[in-house]
């Protein structure tokens, strides 16, 4: 039971996993179940202040959710509503926890094509109050060509890489950005010098999931995947496998690794496809927090002045 029920963020609806009682006013009250300690740990809420705040916020927001719930909503609908609200709240709390130690430093998301750098990056930027930047788009603007695929075709990959390095160099002097980097940005050591001015986070996604995501939208916008013969899934999978073998070590230079397979296992799922982008963003914040805490514990708080 326990793997799925106790540890799952996906199934941690307030109603389902806190023991809930109903008051005459229709509001929910929570009592602490025996699995709560474990859940707090899973959510990365180790100190009592965060825990109290989360429980209080859940209580308050549950009043709002209950008073707005449609009378005819199915239990599946209300459970997924609660899961989404729960995740959003945890995300917000975690962002508040790390804001001061991050001290305005940029976050660079690295990972293979389709790993979710854009999707997760937008969520992180919003919750941290940062701006979101896609480095591929900056290269397109700098070159004056509307797509990366066209830059590869009209110029060359090397030309694209040179411009990508220039863009990363320029970004390295800035603050309060979440940057979705190009999938191949990790292969040039100089790019690491630029990205390490901030915090680097690797979104590590199994190849099958990447190929599935990319096949769903087609390979046309991803020039490195488009040349292979075959159906979109096979094209993507074959090429991504080769790229991943070449780049695996480079991605591992990142300060933090967000491994989707590990999150899925923690939540009791076999497959990463059940993970929401918000759950992945939460894990990213937890990993960022661990990195900052570890550095601070050895007297090397990377981003605090003084």
Ligand X SMILES: Nc1ncnc2c1ncn2[C@@H]1O[C@H](COP(=O)(O)OP(=O)(O)OP(=O)(O)O)[C@@H](O)[C@H]1O
Ligand Y SMILES: O=C(O)C1=C[C@@H](O)[C@@H](O)[C@H](O)C1
**Interface mask (CB under 6 A) for ligand X, residues 77-116, using x and -?**
----------------------------------x-xxxx
Nearest to 203 by CA among 139, 158, 263: 263
Q: Which residue has the tokens 């603007």?
A: 141
Shortest Cβ 122–ligand X spacing (Å):
8
Binding of residue 199 to ligand X (CB under 6 A): no
Shortest Cβ 181–ligand Y spacing (Å):
8
Neighbours of 197 (CB within 10 A): 17
Shortest Cβ 212–ligand X spacing (Å):
8
What does 137 bind: ligand Y, ligand X, none (CB cut-off 5 to 8 Å by kind)?
none
Binding of residue 224 to ligand Y (CB under 6 A): yes
Shortest Cβ 76–ligand Y spacing (Å):
36
What does 18 bind: ligand Y, ligand X, none (CB cut-off 5 to 8 Å by kind)?
none
**Interface mask (CB under 6 A) for ligand Y, residues 102-131, using x and -?**
-----------x------------------
Shortest Cβ 118–ligand Y spacing (Å):
9
Of positions 6, 95, 275, 282, contacts ligand X by CB under 6 A: 275
What does 275 bind: ligand X, ligand Y, none (CB cut-off 5 to 8 Å by kind)?
ligand X
Residues that bind ligand X (CB under 6 A): 111, 113-119, 180, 183, 213, 217, 222, 275, 277, 280
Residues that bind ligand Y (CB under 6 A): 113, 136, 148, 182-184, 222-224
């Amino acid at each position: 039971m326990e793997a799925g029920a106790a540890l799952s963020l996906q199934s941690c609806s307030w109603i389902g996993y806190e023991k809930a009682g109903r008051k005459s006013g229709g509001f929910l009250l929570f009592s602490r179940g025996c699995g709560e300690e474990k859940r707090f740990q899973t959510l990365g809420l180790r100190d009592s202040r965060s825990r109290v705040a989360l429980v209080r916020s859940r209580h308050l927001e549950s009043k709002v959710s209950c008073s707005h719930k449609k009378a005819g909503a199915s239990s599946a609908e209300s459970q997924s509503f609660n899961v989404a609200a729960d995740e959003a709240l945890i995300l917000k709390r975690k962002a508040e926890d790390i804001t001061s130690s991050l001290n305005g430093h940029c976050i660079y998301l690295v990972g293979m094509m389709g790993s979710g750098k854009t999707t997760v990056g937008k969520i992180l930027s919003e919750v941290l109050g940062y701006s979101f930047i896609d480095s591929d788009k900056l290269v397109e603007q700098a070159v004056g060509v509307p797509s990366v695929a066209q830059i590869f075709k009209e110029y060359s990959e090397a030309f694209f890489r040179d411009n990508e390095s220039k863009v990363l160099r320029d970004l390295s002097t800035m603050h309060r950005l979440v940057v979705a980097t190009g999938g191949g940005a990790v292969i040039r050591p100089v790019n690491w010098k630029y990205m390490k001015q901030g915090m680097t986070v690797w979104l590590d996604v199994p190849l099958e999931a990447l190929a599935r995501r990319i096949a769903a939208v087609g390979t046309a916008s991803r020039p490195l995947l488009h040349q292979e013969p075959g159906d979109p899934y096979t094209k993507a999978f074959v090429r991504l496998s080769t790229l991943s073998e070449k780049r695996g070590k480079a991605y591992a230079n990142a300060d933090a690794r967000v491994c989707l397979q590990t999150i899925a296992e923690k939540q009791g799922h076999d497959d990463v496809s059940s993970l929401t982008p918000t759950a992945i963003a939460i894990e990213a914040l937890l990993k960022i927090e661990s990195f900052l805490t570890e550095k601070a514990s050895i007297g090397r708080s990377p981003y605090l002045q003084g």
